[in-house]
Chains A and B, each alone.
Chain A
């Protein structure tokens, strides 16, 4: 048993070195396939982050009358926070609104002068409400019609966004559906590439397989070095792919960040957290696929 394992391992490494260029071609094909899969993962992540960023920026601003009692504001805040559809409620007091307004318009003498003319604080308190998802805004707007504080509200400015939200919702749904379809197509292509690469590699060895059988090798003894070689090639392909993917995402991340508003989208962070699982699954998937393809491809040539 030990001696067979040793020989099988030795033959696998010999096959690898003595068919160096074939090994290089096979690894290249496997790396290309893995890169395709990872580009898809990155694109899905970036799309999700972009959608999330846009969704995060959509909010309902609720402006209260200057005369609105603080209890109405507090009631509205507690009520909204109790809703599962609400992600966050930020309260801005009348004074904070005024300070913010002055800060923004401090260089505009006419506006500052108008404020002084009015004499008091023309702003009432306001709330900024963020929803868990875009589709929750309709529910939140309805919730703001609660008689407990409905009359204290002067204005809700979501109406400006409603059209945008609908369009974003439709667009994101389409992007996600397209992403899933694209993923399925790319995965099928990847499987076909791996399957045919392995078949090609075994086809080149077909005569050798026949000779091994003719000198008395069992199917298992002939098959094992090829299977082990495929595991070795898959491992090398994963390592090469990692050496390409990690530096690439580190370079690309700031560029993606720029397009979605200058913030880091957390791509490197995402791969640091989930890399082991993603690449582990890719390795397992690749090994299973190459082993299956090798087994299938060899079946024909083992019938000697």
Chain B
């Protein structure tokens, strides 16, 4: 499903983001990428949805070689991968419903499909009663749930969550992690980038630890070791 072959990302002038990363994530896996700040976790996530391009190596997603993905192909890739960010990245001038619908609208989904899918995913994240609110009228946890709902509208095979609990209190963070686990149970591959020790330890799933841009450990049922 996700294949990294000796991938490096070097930022000018010579700052190493990640170096020589090779990994293979199978369909339906829940993988946590952990490590201290500046170890390349977010770089790895950004390479998955082509916000960054690798300097060396090869990246394949579902058999699609995205190493040298062309600019006009990026939207197609992003419509197939759900992405959740630490800062939610919601459109502040759009309501909850519109934020979720937007991801479908940009892909040219017909209106009836938007009307069908958006309430469905808002139900999954338990926000159906707040569809008319703007992001600034929601709590952090609720905003993150909107972001998750948005990432689900395309029924993605992969969900990348980059520090999704970074701005949340423990209660909200647990809710989000439970939601991600639930999504994984439906068959979606989840790649969780985090430095939240408790959350990773609770999950008891595969943990890849990064140190200085390199993989220092990759354990099937791991714990946060750093």
Contact = CB atoms under 8 A, between A and B. Distances in A.
B9 interface: no
B150 interface: yes
17 contacts: A7-B105, A14-B93, A18-B93, A19-B93, A208-B92, A210-B89, A213-B75, A214-B51, A214-B85, A215-B78, A215-B150, A216-B79, A216-B103, A216-B106, A216-B107, A217-B75, A218-B72
B75 A218 contact: yes
A27 to B, nearest CB: 18
B78 A4 contact: no
Nearest to A8: B105
A225 to B, nearest CB: 11
A215 B93 contact: no
A198 B51 CA distance: 26
Interface string A84-125: 000000000000000000000000000000000000000000
Contacts of A15: 93
Interface string A218-230: 1101000000000
Contacts of A3: 108, 110-111
B124 to A, nearest CB: 17
B91 A211 contact: yes
Nearest to B92: A208
Nearest to A18: B93
A212 B102 contact: yes
The A interface, classified by DSSP as helix, strand, loop or mixed, is: helix
A304 interface: yes
Interface of B: 49, 51, 71-72, 74-76, 78-79, 83, 85, 89-94, 102-103, 105-108, 110-111, 150, 154
A264 B50 CA distance: 68
Contacts of A210: 89
Contact of A214 (B78, B105, B107): B78
B111 A211 contact: no
Contacts of A211: 89-91
A217 B71 CA distance: 12
Which of A14, A216, A218 gathers the greatest number of chain B CB atoms within 10 Å?
A216
A211 B91 CA distance: 7
A221 B106 contact: yes
A164 B129 CA distance: 84
Contacts of A304: 51
Given A208-B91, A216-B76, A216-B107, 4 more contacts: A3-B108, A14-B94, A214-B49, A216-B78
Contacts of B90: 211
Contacts of A18: 93
Contacts of A208: 91-93
A211 B51 CA distance: 11
Contacts of B105: 7
B91 A212 contact: yes
Instruction: Tell which of A3, A213, A214 has the most Cβ of chain B within 10 Å.
Output: A214
